[in-house]
Amino acid sequence: MAEHNDPAYVVVEGPIGVGKTTLARRLAGSFGSELLLEGAEDNPFLERFYENPRDAAFATQMHFLMQRAEQLRGLRQADLFETTRIADFLFEKDRLFAQLTLTPEEFELYERVYNHLAPEVQPPDLVIYLQAPVSVLMERVRKRGIEAEQRIDAEYLQRLSDAYVEFFHHYDRAPLLIVNAAEIDLVSNDGDYWQLLERLRTIRSGRHFFNPAPIA
């Protein structure tokens, strides 16, 4: 259940396989909040991207950019007093993926559209950034068994993880909680999860780290 001083708009972020969507779902249950999911399965170009990244990268990124902008366009501070929102995507992260996948010419065109849409997007009250080694990400991708994702290789995940580290090293648009998600189970272990929930409810500004020993 949400408390009076809980953040109104929380984003869970991290590379593919780190568990951001499942954590976002659990937080939404705890806060009794609206859940905003990026809906990767609704992108008609994504499977083609995993099959042939070079041919489908631009269409994939443009679809994600427009989709996320549409989801967040109406999210203004006045609306956030109505109910808490939990999202599994940060608008700015779309640009991070575009830098990895697009040619310089494609990225120049992409960025013109991105810069037009970005000012309309409300920044979160808190960002939770989940980290884990690539070996852990690969194992989690394998276990969840989404067919298109089985084509993802360790090299791509390493580049993506490095890009996330660089991005959040400079991120200052919202309070940030960096979570070592490699050894703890935030989905099915109540002790780990409640530690995190208690910690995030204390954050009002700045950069923080959550690296607890796992609870059996």
Residue 2 lies in a domain: no
In sign, the C-alpha dihedral spanning 33, 169, 98, 106 is positive
User: Is 127 inside any structural domain?
Assistant: yes
User: By C-alpha distance, which of 62, 52, 13 is closest to 151?
Assistant: 52
Q: For 35-82, what is each residue's pLDDT tens digit?
A: 999 888 889 998 898 888 889 999 999 999 999 998 887 665 445 456
- Which has more pLDDT, 97 or 150? 97
- Does residue 199 sit within a domain? yes
Compute CA distances 19 → 2, 60, 116, 216, whole Å. 22, 22, 30, 19
Instruction: Report the amino acid identity of residue 103.
Output: T
pLDDT in tens, 107-138: 999 999 999 999 888 889 999 999 999 999 99
- Count of structural domains, the chain: 1
This prediction has a pTM of 0.90
Q: Report yes or no on 54 lying in a domain.
A: yes
Extended beta strands in 122-186, E state: 126-131, 176-180
Residue 1 lies in a domain: no
Give domain status of residue 4, yes or no. no
Indicate whether 176 belongs to any domain: yes
62 in a structural domain: yes
Q: Which of 48-57, 104-113, 149-158, 185-194 has the highest mean pLDDT?
A: 104-113
Q: Domain containing 201: what range?
A: 9-210
Domain of residue 190, CATH code:
3.40.50.300
